[in-house]
């Protein structure tokens, strides 16, 4: 156990091997040994709680065994720590509906324990799931609870994440952005600055959940700071030897370069390809696969491969609806609609209209603007393709006004290019 604790911030796989050995030793103790139960629970709790770091298979996390043991022992704390890992693994494996169901139990369990430090340490997993399922009001509630509990201490509650405070500020920033609430940019900026001093895994997660989300959804654009930050992050991850941190850093750096300008696009796609390969090797988040492939579809559209862009983006959109994911769904639908409009056959325009109305029919929380802003642009593109200039200008102007009122830099740039 001591070896695992020493290794956790240095080599997560070595740490987990130490805990697995501790599990084996505990299992060999006499059945009537009074320490046997706790010695079985402690290493299993850490194995389960960190299972997301190696993108473990659901059946290998050890959670069901942990649930049984902690139930017998009445150990709610260990169950909560293990459940944090289980919830996160479900989200990483893009099993969002299953993750959401377990998250409700998880949050209730944490609240029933009533330990402020444990609450701060563990609520990150619930916020990650709620971000994917579009429950922004709940993210705001949980994030503010964590921020208040941390009271400015960036490493308080660092049981699994190095900085629960940075995670909470990141999630609050993305939730505020989605709900068009002020302060979202300052939240993301503060979290990015905090992350510069963290270990590669924590730093990569903050940048992925904050900057990556905002970039794909047109809230932010790539600037000198983000280029420098993602380059430093990738360098640190390469030196860390942590597969998950490295894949995350490659993913975010790749996004930054692909969105920057044409001279960086080749390097950016090379990094995205490496992140995509890591997903196929089960070393990175399955939830990011549609995001990477979305950029493949956009590149096909840019280079004139309309058939390829439509086929790929349609598959991505169908996957987004099937999984229940909402964070990147509007971006995926936008690429599909733009590709259909570019090919512009009668059937394409009908399909584009169906895609628009399908997204418009998705129930969202009051104030959720991610879909709304994307839909304004898509309706404008459809009107222009049909030659309806009056409707085009009306939708375009509404799109510009909405994007500007929230400060969505990427959307503002796209709106400005619509003459």
d(CA 56, CA 91): 12
* Of 80, 70, 76, nearest in space to 122 by CA: 80
Convert 201-222 to b/e letters by CB count within 10 Å (16 or more is b).
bbbbbbbbbbbbbbbbbbbbbb
Is the CB of residue 338 less than 8 Å from the CB of residue 381?
A: yes
Token output for 182? 């002020």
- What is the predicted pLDDT for the residue at 241? 81
Sign of the alpha-carbon torsion through 43, 44, 46, 50: positive
Query: Residues 311-343: pLDDT tens digits?
Result: 999 999 999 999 999 999 999 999 999 999 999
> How much of the chain, in percent, has pLDDT values that exceed 90?
85
- Between these two residues, 412 and 9, which has the higher pLDDT value? 412
Token output for 311? 């086929």
Domain ranges of the chain: 1-114
Query: Residues 133-160: pLDDT tens digits?
Result: 999 999 999 999 999 999 999 999 998 8
**Orientation of helix 306-323 relative to helix 329-343, angle to 10°:** 150
Is the CB of residue 273 less than 8 Å from the CB of residue 82?
A: no
d(CA 349, CA 382): 7
d(CA 21, CA 391): 67
- What is the predicted pLDDT for the residue at 4? 32
pLDDT surpasses 70 at 6: no
Query: Residues 55-98: pLDDT tens digits?
Result: 878 888 899 999 999 999 999 999 999 999 999 999 999 999 99
Q: How confident is the model at residue 11 (pLDDT cuts 50, 70, 90)?
A: low
pLDDT surpasses 80 at 1: no
Stretch 260-278: mean pLDDT: 93
Is the CB of residue 399 less than 8 Å from the CB of residue 373?
A: yes
Q: Can you tell me whether residue 364 is helix, strand or coil?
A: coil
């Amino acid at each position: 156990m001591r070896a695992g604790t020493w290794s956790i911030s240095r080599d997560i796989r070595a740490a987990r091997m130490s805990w697995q050995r501790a599990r084996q030793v505990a299992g060999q103790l006499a059945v009537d040994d009074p320490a046997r139960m706790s010695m079985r629970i402690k290493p299993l709790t850490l194995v389960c709680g960190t299972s997301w770091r190696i993108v473990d298979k659901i059946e290998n996390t050890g959670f069901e065994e942990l649930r049984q043991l902690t139930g017998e022992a009445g150990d709610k704390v260990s169950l909560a720590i293990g459940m944090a890992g289980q919830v996160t693994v479900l989200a990483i494996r893009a099993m969002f509906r299953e993750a959401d169901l377990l998250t409700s139990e998880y949050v209730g369990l944490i609240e029933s324990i009533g330990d402020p430090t444990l609450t701060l340490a563990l609520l990150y997993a619930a916020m990650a799931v709620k971000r994917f399922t579009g429950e922004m009001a709940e993210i705001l509630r949980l994030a503010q609870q964590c921020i208040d509990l941390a009271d400015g201490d960036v490493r308080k509650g660092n049981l699994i994440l190095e900085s629960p405070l940075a995670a909470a500020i990141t999630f609050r920033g993305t939730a505020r952005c989605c709900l068009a609430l002020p302060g979202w940019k300052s939240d993301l900026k503060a979290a990015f600055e905090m992350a510069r001093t963290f270990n590669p895994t924590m730093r990569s997660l903050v940048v992925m959940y904050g900057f990556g989300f905002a970039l794909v959804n047109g809230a932010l654009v790539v600037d000198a700071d983000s280029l420098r930050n993602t380059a430093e992050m990738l360098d640190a991850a390469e030196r860390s030897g942590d597969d998950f941190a490295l894949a995350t850093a490659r993913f975010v750096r790749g996004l930054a370069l692909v969105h920057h300008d044409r001279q960086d696009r080749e390097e950016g796609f090379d990094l995205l390809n490496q992140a995509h390969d890591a997903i196929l090797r089960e070393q990175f988040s399955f939830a990011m696969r549609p995001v990477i492939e979305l950029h493949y579809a956009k590149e096909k559209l840019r280079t004139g491969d309309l058939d390829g862009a439509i086929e790929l983006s349609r598959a991505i959109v169908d996957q987004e609806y099937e999984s229940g994911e909402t964070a990147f769904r509007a971006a995926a639908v936008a690429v599909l609609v733009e590709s259909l409009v570019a090919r512009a056959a009668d059937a394409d325009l009908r399909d584009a209209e169906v895609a628009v109305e399908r997204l418009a029919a998705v129930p969202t929380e009051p104030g959720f603007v991610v879909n709304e802003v994307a839909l304004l642009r898509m309706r404008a593109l459809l009107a222009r393709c049909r030659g309806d200039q009056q409707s085009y200008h009306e939708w375009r102007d509404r799109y510009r006004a909405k994007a500007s009122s929230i400060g969505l830099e990427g959307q503002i740039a796209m709106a400005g290019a619509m003459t």
